Chain A
Amino acid sequence: AQTVTQSQPEMSVQEAETVTLSCTYDTSENNYYLFWYKQPPSRQMILVIRQEAYKQQNATENRFSVNFQKAAKSFSLKISDSQLGDTAMYFCALRVGSQGNLIFGKGTKLSVKP
């Protein structure tokens, strides 16, 4: 069975600073994908970044980047130059290639303080 664990229920960061959200996962498959989704107070689920397991290079999307450590089964999200609009729940998710659904962690509530 696949699992996703986010060990930080809540975090806070000052505006313009950098914060890292942790995620670990477990799967026996070799073909899988990892995602970070953001859920602001509007409740909408928004894709932040994705990583293919077969790619060694860490994915980057503007201020968002990941540290993908395949051997350690770790997939952390780094947010640089934090903005007030980054305040949200962040979910780490795993999708195994042979299956369709996303398996989510329980989320980390991030507060960006002015």
Chain B
Amino acid sequence: NAGVTQTPKFQVLKTGQSMTLQCAQDMNHNSMYWYRQDPGMGLRLIYYSASEGTTDKGEVPNGYNVSRLNKREFSLRLESAAPSQTSVYFCASSPRIPGQGSSGANVLTFGAGSRLTVL
């Protein structure tokens, strides 16, 4: 059982290049999330998908797009990378639609992270 799998683990881009971070979960979770982690800032939410077919902006969505391809997969795209997007990116998933179910439904399982450097 792999849990949450992110690819690639490392990527170096030049300013203006585009790329897509892939995320897949095999836990039959409904909700999926993309966070970025910067030094001294904790994790900040970029976008999330409460359920298949829906996506919503988080705290720092500018410069990013997302696609919930199916229940398993949630991708994050940088159309024109900027140095300010240098960060570690985490995908996460949780079992149920937010606000429903037991506290177990509110636990997020994270991927291993993807380190992105934009030169």
Report which A residues bind B (CB closer than 8 A): 4, 9, 31, 33, 35, 42-45, 47, 50, 52, 91, 95, 97-107
Contacts and interface: CB of A to CB of B under 8 A. Distances in A.
A105 B90 contact: no
A43 B112 contact: yes
Given A33-B103, A52-B103, A105 B98 contact: no
B107 A45 contact: no
Interface size class of B (residues with CB under 8 A): 20 to 34
Interface of B: 31, 33, 40-45, 48, 50, 58, 88, 90, 92, 94, 97-99, 103, 106-110, 112-113
Contacts of A52: 103
17 contacts: A9-B40, A43-B88, A44-B110, A44-B113, A45-B110, A47-B108, A50-B106, A91-B42, A95-B98, A98-B98, A101-B48, A101-B58, A102-B92, A104-B44, A105-B42, A106-B42, A107-B42
A77 B102 CA distance: 22
Central interface residue in A33, A44, A102, by most chain B CB within 10 Å = A102
Contacts of A50: 103, 106-107
